[in-house]
Structures are given as C-alpha cells and as structure tokens.
Structure 1
Amino acid sequence: MDVQLTSKTAFVSGSTQGIGFAIAKELLREGAAVIINGRTPEKVDAAVKRLQQEIPGAAVSGIAADFGSVAEVDQLLAALPRIDILVNNVGIFELKPFADINDDDWAHIFQINVMSGIRLSRYLLPEMLARNEGRIIFISSESGVNIPEQMIHYGATKTMMLAVSRGLAGLTKNTAVTVNSILGGPAYSEGVAVAVEQIAAAQHQPVEQVKQHLFKTINPTSLLQRFIDPTEIAHLAVYLASPLSIATNGAVLRADGGVLNTIL
C-alpha cells in the first residue's frame, strides 16, 4: 500500500531511541523526510547516523533540545522548517510512591510529557490549518487509562495528552488536518531491555525467561502475552500520518496488545 508520504516532512520529538526512533524509521521507509530529536547533540548525531546506515538515502536530520527547558524549545521551534507531520512522542517516567512525588517532580514531568506537545502543536497547528493539510499524533499510553499506582504522575500526564489531543482535533473541523492519539502498551524499548538484562544477570537466569515472567506478572490482562515491539506501534503512527487516514480524527487508537480490558 502506498501511504503517500514521499513529499512530506515529519518532526518526531524524543526520537533517538524507543518508540520515537521506530516511528522515525518507519516514516523514512515510506519516503518521508524526518527530523528527529533528543536532549543532546551527541544522542541526536548517533541516531541520525544509525538511521542513515539502516535506510540508505534516507532524508533524516536532527535537532537537539531538552523539552524541560523553555529556551531550548524556543530555539528548536525557530529552527523547524515547514512540518507536515508532528509526532508528540517525547516523555519521561519513573517509579515513585505517591507520597514521595513532590511539587517539583510533578512540574518536571508535566513540562516534558504535556507541555512539549502543547508548545509544538501551538506553533505548528495554525500553519497546518492555513495550508489545509497536516497531521498531529500524540503518543500516549495505556497508563493514561489504567493509572499505575507507583507512577501516578506519569499516568496523569498521559491522560492529559488525550484531553489536549481531542481538544485540538475540535479546531480542525472541516479541514484536511487531523489530530489523533495512540494508546501504546508495554513496549520492549532500550530502557526496558537494560532493566530486564540487569535482573537476569542478578538472578542468573536467561533473559527470555525473565521477560516472560515479568510480563505475565505485570501485565496479566494482555491478549498479546508478550512485550510489544516499538515497530508495531510505529506502523499505526505511519497510517495516522498518511493522507489515507483523513476519516480518523479526534480519536484514540490502541496499540496496547489488549492490556486494557475495555471495549472502547
């Protein structure tokens, strides 16, 4: 299927690894030009080189910016060219008891997980509406619906992303611009892989055995019964980025492996 992305330019926040990197890679496979983002020039340069090696001839570049810094975000916005596809992916998480999450913790995670998408969308959506063309995609999480007890601040920000996305979609009425969210499930990202390998080494057990045990313990409701590969979430993002998805707007689409035990 031709998803008609060869003339499009995408910006993916937080894309030097994990789901963001997978989305950037799949967009490049479909012929889009992609600008990736990470906190440091070193991480961005390394990710750009990796993408160029994996997809020869790919039109990929990068801009370093820490979304915890308003000044760095302003510099990033000023450096952006015309963007057809915005993927609001950047995010942080941590395991922390609710009583230990102080005001600074709440403010920090809100700045990165929520305000990043707000600032980027506020800058790019008016241009998309003026051109009557564009896609904005928020990468949320099943944790925004099934709030983790040890990551309440993280879950709350993922819920807020859904609200912002739906509100922005309302501004696109009668246009060819869409705003949607993806509700991702437990993905086997680099960070998760490192943690699993450390547990396996400490317990002197095979990595695959630890993966299976952890997954069944933490995510017993999963219908997939395994960690999701980030590429499997990226495939859905590519469709939403395509002109073919015009009838999907203001929606929350699940790529959670069936972890959420709900119909909608």
Structure 2
Amino acid sequence: MQIDLTGRTAIVTGSTGGIGLAIAKGLAESGAQVVVNGRRAPAVEKAVRAVAASGTGQAMGFTGDLGTAEGCAALVAAYPSCDILINNLGIYEPGDFFETPDTDWTRFFEVNVMSGVRLSRAYLPGMEKTGWGRVVFISSESAFNIPVEMIHYGFSKTAQVAIARGLAKRMAGTRVTVNSVLPGPTLSEGQAEMLKPEQEKTGHSLEQLAAAFTMEHRPGSIIRRAATVEEVANMVVYLSSPQASATTGAAVRVDGGVLDTI
C-alpha cells in the first residue's frame, strides 16, 4: 500500500515529541505539509527540522498553548484551513480520586478534550466544503480500561472517543472521516525518561524495562511489551489516508491487546 498525501495540509497538536512527533514525521514521509505544535519555540523549531528531514512534505511550526481557547484561536488565525487534523495534545499524571481537586479536572478537560473540540469545530466546515478531510483524536486504552490511579485522565480519554463518534455521525455523507486511536503502553520519550534511572542501575535496555513495566501495570498485554511511537503513528497515518475512506466513527486500538474485548 502506497500512501500519498501530497498536496494535503496536516496539523498535529502537541507534536514536539513522543507519539505526536512520530505522527508528524509519518505524515511528512507520505508527502503531507505538516504543521507542528508545541508551547515552547525552541522545541517547535527542533521538531520542525526533524519533520522536514524525514519526508518530502514541508514542515511548519506554531508555538502556542492549545489547551486554551486563545491558543486555539491563534492557531486557526495562522492556519485557517487544513485537510488533516490530528488532535494529539494531551496531559496525564496520577492522582487519587479523593485528592484530585476541581482545578485538575478542569485542566484535564480543557487540554485533553476542549482543544480537540475547538479545533474540530474550526476546521471541519472547511473540510466539508472541499469534500475531503480527516480528523483523528489520539485517545487511549484508558478510555475503556479506566486507571484507578488517574480517573480524571481516563474520563478525558473516554470523552474523546465519544466526541469522535458523534462528529463522524455529524459529518455523514461528506467524505470527511472522524476516528479515535487508542494507544496502549508506549515507549515514548516520557516513559524513557522515567525508566532512565532504572536503566542506569540495572544495565537493562529501555525496551526490556518498558516490557517489564507493561506487564506489571497492564498484565493483559498480548504483545507483552510497549509499543513504539512509530507503531502508533503508522495507524494514524493510515487513518489519515485516502485508503481509509470507509473507516469512520471507529475507536481503533493500538494497545497490544490490553483491552480484553472482541
């Protein structure tokens, strides 16, 4: 299968590292013009260079906090239209339910949920007008397998799946698809940083430590390891392609089999 996104413009939120950067690179490798986003200019500039070097598509940057209404409005003002919107921006942190204040619930809702709501509301009408478009929400297996140690995070990921499903139905018959992707344990830069002290102490590889971490916290994993960011990105690039035209309203799992459903 040859995915060709030449002539398409993609916006990937929260894409200076981890899964977001891998998605941006994958889209650029397929020929898309990619807008990279982060909150800090040096990180955005570095990511733009990495994306530009990875593919034939042009890479551009937008520095701004898309967890706010003002940040989303500034992005839309800078880039009024796109063909592919990847709502990847997200935060996570553990916290016991009884010790998580309202401010944390609001912060997770604004960043993880409302960023995608605002940008989808801004860009979907243009996609409908041109007769083609792709929107992908990067959710998590935690949307269904709610982690007891961060219920506020699981709630936000479930909300993303619901919004993607509803938007797919709202865009019925327009040749615009909306889907969500559910990664499981993934060896991102954040997890690598967390595991680095253990690596230095034991001499084990990051892959070995990530696999052990996965089996400790997600023992239902069938692949018995953490996914790579590229493995998650591959699914997102496919869903962004013309070849995925009959897939919409779906919650597509890249969870290594963690979710015990058929």
Taking structure 1 as the reference length, the TM-score comes to 0.95
2:60 corresponds in structure 1 to 61
1:252 corresponds in structure 2 to 251
Shift of 1:171: 1.3
Aligned mates of 2:234, 2:127 — CA distance in 1: 23
> Structure 1, unaligned stretches of length 5 or more?
none
Aligned mates of 1:4, 1:246 — CA distance in 2: 14
Structure 1 vs Structure 2 CA RMSD? 1.4
Shift of 1:95: 1.1
Q: Within 5 Å, which residues of 2 pair with 1:47-86?
A: 47-55=47-55, 57-86=56-85
Shift of 1:207: 3.7
User: In structure 2, what residue type is equivalent to 1:220?
Assistant: P
Aligned mates of 1:53, 1:240 — CA distance in 2: 23
Change (3 A) 1:199 1:99: farther
Change (3 A) 1:120 1:82: same
Q: Within 5 Å, which residues of 2 pair with 1:1-264?
A: 1-55=1-55, 57-201=56-200, 203-208=201-206, 209-263=208-262
User: In structure 2, what residue type is equivalent to 1:6?
Assistant: T
Q: Deviations over 1:57-107 (max 9, x none)?
A: 541011011123322221111111420000000000001111111000000
The answer to whether the 8 Å contact 1:196/1:207 transfers is: no
User: In structure 1, what residue type is equivalent to 2:41?
Assistant: P
Aligned mates of 1:140, 1:99 — CA distance in 2: 24
Shift of 1:45: 0.6
Shift of 1:131: 1.5
Shift of 1:205: 4.6
The answer to whether the 8 Å contact 1:63/1:76 transfers is: yes
Shift of 1:216: 1.6
Shift of 1:231: 0.6
The answer to whether the 8 Å contact 1:223/1:259 transfers is: yes
Shift of 1:2: 2.3
SS at match of 2:90: coil
The answer to whether the 8 Å contact 1:86/1:135 transfers is: yes
Taking structure 2 as the reference length, the TM-score comes to 0.95
Aligned mates of 2:260, 2:212 — CA distance in 1: 20
The answer to whether the 8 Å contact 2:38/2:63 transfers is: yes
Aligned mates of 1:212, 1:2 — CA distance in 2: 32
The answer to whether the 8 Å contact 1:37/1:65 transfers is: yes
The answer to whether the 8 Å contact 2:15/2:36 transfers is: yes
Aligned mates of 1:25, 1:38 — CA distance in 2: 15
Identical amino acids, percent of aligned pairs: 45
SS at match of 2:198: helix
Q: Deviations over 1:109-153 (max 9, x none)?
A: 110000000000000011111112111011110001000011110
Matched pairs, number? 261
The answer to whether the 8 Å contact 2:28/2:52 transfers is: no
User: In structure 1, what residue type is equivalent to 2:228?
Assistant: D
Change (3 A) 1:134 1:220: same
